[in-house]
């Protein structure tokens, strides 16, 4: 049986991880989040990074136990039971759908700022167009994703550079809603870190994955977090949290304050690339998850139907599109993002719990690598990850 060639070094894996994590969350939600956390929005990104890192380590160890295409469903089924696993599988699908709706509304905000179009209608049209691309060809979808990743990263670096001369203009510990506001903002912006759970899927093509994978997860989360924190500091330094929170195109307004209307247009276009890319990736991965669950008889058989011409799961693509549009119709990006994060924190809590249980249930099962900091069989990082994810659920609910 031929195997994948192990070509990825630590450096290449870190770059891949950063590319996966950096996305549209910060473009779409930094304005709303700054209205909750104030100038201390950077602190919300630090807390989010810690939770992502703890959970990322659990994904790393679990992925070293199971086959390369296994996911949350397999982890939970093996450590707990099939009913809970089905629930978590549906949570992952649900989170993907609502993430698409959230970021589509973010796209609508930037597009409206440029052309004065209705935000909700724009978001719906985007979802329909990208769903067609999802149906038509996975190859074109991947090409668009690669271009957009480069553009969105460049946009964030531009904001950081623009903010250098404004550093010190504000009180970075100003919290209009206290530290509780910072935690509520953390719950809101957390899906800006999504993607770290996908890094482990490269294990089969990585040199010495036992040693390389944990380092890549840690460093990609740390580097992405530093970029996010610097962007947050630059944004509030240039515009201030009040103006930032009232903007439908926050990072474009930040650029405009520093360099005028031309910078606004450039940053708005970059934000459109970023948000549309994230919507496309979410639509693609979620439709493939529902297809996979149908193949395993976890969902009705229709979800596994494949178009003979395009070789894509047309029924899954159609249903995901329709449900995404229904969530877009809610219209409030803060509420829709909160619904997405509710599913994510539940999922991540159970992933951490799976590792905790597995340490006792199967202590001698073969692992390609093992998370450190243990008290006997009790894994401390997984336990902290479990508790922090549960803790953040309170702030998601409070945010509603």
pLDDT tens by residue, 150-175: 888 888 999 999 999 999 999 999 99
pLDDT digits (tens, 9 = 90+) for 103-140: 899 999 999 999 999 999 999 999 999 999 888 865 55
3 state SS of 301: helix
| Domain-embedded: residue 306 | yes
Query: Is 107 domain-assigned?
Result: yes
- Cβ neighbours of 153 (radius 10 Å): 18
d(CA 162, CA 177): 28
- Alpha-carbon distances, residue 250 vs 41, 206, 257, 391 (angstroms): 14, 38, 11, 29
The predicted-structure confidence for 7-34, as pLDDT tens digits, reads as follows 667 887 787 778 778 777 788 889 999 9
Q: Is residue 4 part of a domain?
A: no
CA of residue 223 relative to chain centroid, distance: 15
pLDDT digits 0-9 by tens, 296-313: 777 888 988 888 888 888
pLDDT attached to residue 29: 87
Q: How far is CA 362 from the centre of its chain?
A: 30
In whole angstroms, what is the distance from residue 357 CA to residue 55 CA? 15
Please, which residues have CB within 8 angstroms of residue 296's CB and are 6 or more apart in sequence?
73
Q: Indicate the number of domains in the chain.
A: 1
The CATH number assigned to the domain holding 23 equals: 1.20.1740.10
Q: At what angle do helices 82-115 and 250-259 cross, to 10 degrees?
A: 40
pLDDT band at 205 (very low <50, low <70, confident <90, very high): low
Q: Is residue 3 part of a domain?
A: no
- Domain that residue 94 falls in: 10-399
For 120, other C-beta atoms within 10 Å of its C-beta total 17
Q: In the 3-class helix/strand/coil scheme, how is the chain assigned residue by residue?
A: CCCCCCCECHHHHHHHHHHHHCCCHHHHHHHHHHHHHHHHHHHHHHHHHHHHHHHHHHHHHHHHHCCCCCCHHHHHHHHCCHHHHHHHHHHHHHHHHHHHHHHHHHHHHHHHHHHCCCHHHHHHHHHHHHHHHHHHCHHHHHHHHHHHHHHHHHHHHHHHHHHHHHCCCCCCCCCCCHHHHHHHHHHHHHHHHCCHHHHHHHHHHECCHHHHHHHHHHHHHHHHHHHHHHHHHHHHHHHCHHHHHCCCCHHHHHHHHHHCHHHHHHHHHHHHHHHHHHHHHHHHHHHHHHHHHHHCCCCCHHHHCCCCCCCCCHHHHHHHHHHHHHHHCCCCHHHHHHHHHHHHHHHHHHHHHHHHHHHHHCCCCCCCCCCCCEECCEEHHHHHHHHHHHHHHHHHHHHC
Is 303 contained in some domain? yes
Report the pLDDT value the prediction gives residue 368, as an integer from 0 to 100. 74
Give the pLDDT confidence score for residue 370 in this predicted structure: 83
Q: Give domain status of residue 194, yes or no.
A: yes
Tell me the CA distances in angstroms from 104 to 28, 127, 275, one per residue in order.
9, 7, 7
Q: Which residues contact residue 85 at a Cβ distance below 8 angstroms, ignoring those fewer than 6 apart?
A: 72, 73, 74, 75, 76, 77
Taking the model in full, what pTM does it have? 0.85
Q: Tell me, what's the pLDDT at 145? A: 64
pLDDT at site 3: 46
| pLDDT tens, position by position, 212-235 | 777 888 888 899 999 999 999 999
Q: Report yes or no on 195 lying in a domain.
A: yes
* pLDDT band at residue 141 using 50, 70 and 90 as cut-offs: low
Q: Comparing 19 with 238, which gets the higher pLDDT?
A: 238
For residue 380, tell me if it sits in a domain: yes
List, for residues 37-96, the tens digit of each pLDDT value.
999 999 999 999 999 999 989 988 887 787 655 578 888 988 998 889 889 988 988 988
User: Per-residue pLDDT tens for 310-362?
Assistant: 888 899 999 999 999 999 999 988 899 889 899 999 999 999 999 999 999 98
Instruction: Take residue 309 and report the two structure tokens written for it.
Output: 């011409």
The residue whose two tokens read 């209205």 is: 35
């Amino acid at each position: 049986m031929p195997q994948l060639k192990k070509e990825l070094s630590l450096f290449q894996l870190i770059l891949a991880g950063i590319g996966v994590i950096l996305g549209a969350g910060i473009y779409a939600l930094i304005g709303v989040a700054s209205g909750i956390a104030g100038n201390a929005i950077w602190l919300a990104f630090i807390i989010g990074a810690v939770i992502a890192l703890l959970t990322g380590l659990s994904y790393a160890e679990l992925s070293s136990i199971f086959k390369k295409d296994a996911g949350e469903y397999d982890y939970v089924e093996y450590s707990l039971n099939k009913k809970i696993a089905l629930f978590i599988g549906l949570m992952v699908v649900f989170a993907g759908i609502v993430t698409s709706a959230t970021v589509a509304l973010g796209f609508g905000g930037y597009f409206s700022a440029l052309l004065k179009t209705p935000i909700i209608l724009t978001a719906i049209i985007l979802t329909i167009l990208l769903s067609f691309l999802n149906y038509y060809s996975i190859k074109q979808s991947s090409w668009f994703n690669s271009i957009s990743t480069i553009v969105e990263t460049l946009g964030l670096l531009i904001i950081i550079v623009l903010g250098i001369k404004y550093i010190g203009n504000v009180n970075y510990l100003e919290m209009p809603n206290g530290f509780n506001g910072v935690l509520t903002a953390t719950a809101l912006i957390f899906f800006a870190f999504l993607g770290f759970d996908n890094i482990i899927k490269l294990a089969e093509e990585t040199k010495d994955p036992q040693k390389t994978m944990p380092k890549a997860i840690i460093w990609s989360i740390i580097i992405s977090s530093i970029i996010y924190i610097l962007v947050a500091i630059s944004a509030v330094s240039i515009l201030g949290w009040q103006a930032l929170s009232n903007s439908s195109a926050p990072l474009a307004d930040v650029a405009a304050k520093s360099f005028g209307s031309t910078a606004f247009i450039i940053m708005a276009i970059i934000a459109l690339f970023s948000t549309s890319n994230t919507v496309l990736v979410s639509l693609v991965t979620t439709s493939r998850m529902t297809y996979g669950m149908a193949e395993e008889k976890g969902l009705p058989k229709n979800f596994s139907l494949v178009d003979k011409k395009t070789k894509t799961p047309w029924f899954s693509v159609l249903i995901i599109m329709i449900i995404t549009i229904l969530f877009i119709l809610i219209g409030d990006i803060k509420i829709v993002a909160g619904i997405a994060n509710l599913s994510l924190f539940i999922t991540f809590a159970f992933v951490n719990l799976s590792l905790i249980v597995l340490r006792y249930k199967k202590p001698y099962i073969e692992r390609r690598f093992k998370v450190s900091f243990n008290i006997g069989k009790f894994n401390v990082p997984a336990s902290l990850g479990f508790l922090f994810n549960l803790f953040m659920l309170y702030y998601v609910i409070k945010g509603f």
